[in-house]
Amino acid sequence: MSEPMLVIRDLHGYYGKSHVLHGVNLEIGQGEIVSLLGRNGVGRSTTAKAVMGMVAARGSIRFKGQELLGRKPHDIARLGVGYVPENRDIFPDLTVKQNLMLGMKSARQKGRWSMDDMYALFPRLKERENTPGGVLSGGEQQMLTLCRTLMGDPDLIMIDEPTEGLAPKIVELVGSFLKEVEKRGISILLVEQKLAIALDISERLYVMGHGHIVFEGTPADLKDNEAVRKEWLEV
């Protein structure tokens, strides 16, 4: 693996007095897709939120050699970390185009991505460019929130449950979108419950159980490890 872009060591995370993460260790290389798998409530989303400075945490989170713990979410975003939350956080009253423009890094700095790139990745967004975000379908909103985050030109993008509740055809679209993002050298942390998409697009996988990592390996390793799948992933 190349020099890691993100290195998490002995990460503990808290919601108030509730101790959710218990010494998480995880790393992501440059331009690598890594999936974080596990059942609901084991701490996957909390891990992503800790990286973004959105939950109380201790330990170490280093991004491109810089410690992130203690920094504010907007400072972390400026350093090059993108985050797509599970709730598809779009602006419902703004059009598709306005939502995308809000995601842009700044008028002065040219990012890797243009509006045309977004429309090429998801032609449906081009068709709906002047439609308010609130009337889009769930799949279209997911495309929009992914593209809006990319417009900020992150070097690492963390995506929480992007295929939740989507039709199989849209799930496929999301998968090809993530592969396209990876081609441009952007690292991806995919928080997912669906094993199929994670096995298909990830280079490495972590499985989480009760706030710590219980498995780390390649998709082939996980396919071979029935015990881990049974205990930590299958419902």
Q: What mean pLDDT is predicted for residues 22-49?
A: 95
Q: What mean pLDDT is predicted for residues 16-42?
A: 94
CATH number for the segment(s) 4-233: 3.40.50.300
Q: What is the per-residue pLDDT for 195? A: 87
pLDDT in tens, 36-55: 999 988 999 999 999 999 99
Q: What is the per-residue pLDDT for 3? A: 67
pLDDT band at 107 (very low <50, low <70, confident <90, very high): low
The span from the CA of 133 to the CA of 131, in Å, is 6
The span from the CA of 144 to the CA of 118, in Å, is 9
pLDDT in tens, 160-214: 998 888 888 888 888 888 988 888 889 999 999 888 889 999 999 999 999 999 9
Q: What mean pLDDT is predicted for residues 13-39?
A: 94
Q: What is the per-residue pLDDT for 50? A: 97
Q: What is the per-residue pLDDT for 90? A: 87
What's the whole-number average pLDDT of the chain? 91
* HEC-encoded secondary structure of the chain: CCCEEEEEEEEEEEECCEEEEEEEEEEEECCCEEEEECCCCCCHHHHHHHHCCCCEEEEEEEECCEECCCCCHHHHHHHCEEEECCCCCCCCCCEHHHHHHHHCCCCCCCCCCCHHHHHHHCHHHHHCCCCEHHHCCHHHHHHHHHHHHHCCCCCEEEEECCCCCCCHHHHHHHHHHHHHHHHCCCEEEEEECCHHHHHHHCCEEEEEECCEEEEEECHHHHHHCHHHHHHHHCC
Rg (CA), the chain: 17
Q: Where are the domains of the chain?
A: 4-233
Residue 2 predicted with pLDDT over 70: no
Which stretch of 44-53, 104-113, 134-143, 210-219 has the lowest confidence by average pLDDT?
A: 104-113
Percent of the chain whose predicted confidence (pLDDT) is above 70: 96
Q: What mean pLDDT is predicted for residues 14-30?
A: 94
Closest CA to 201 of 213, 183, 215: 183
Q: What is the per-residue pLDDT for 168? A: 85
Contacts of 37 (CB under 8 A, 6+ apart): 44, 192, 193, 195, 198, 205, 206, 207, 208, 232, 233
Q: What is the per-residue pLDDT for 1? A: 47
Contacts of 86 (CB under 8 A, 6+ apart): 45, 160, 161, 164
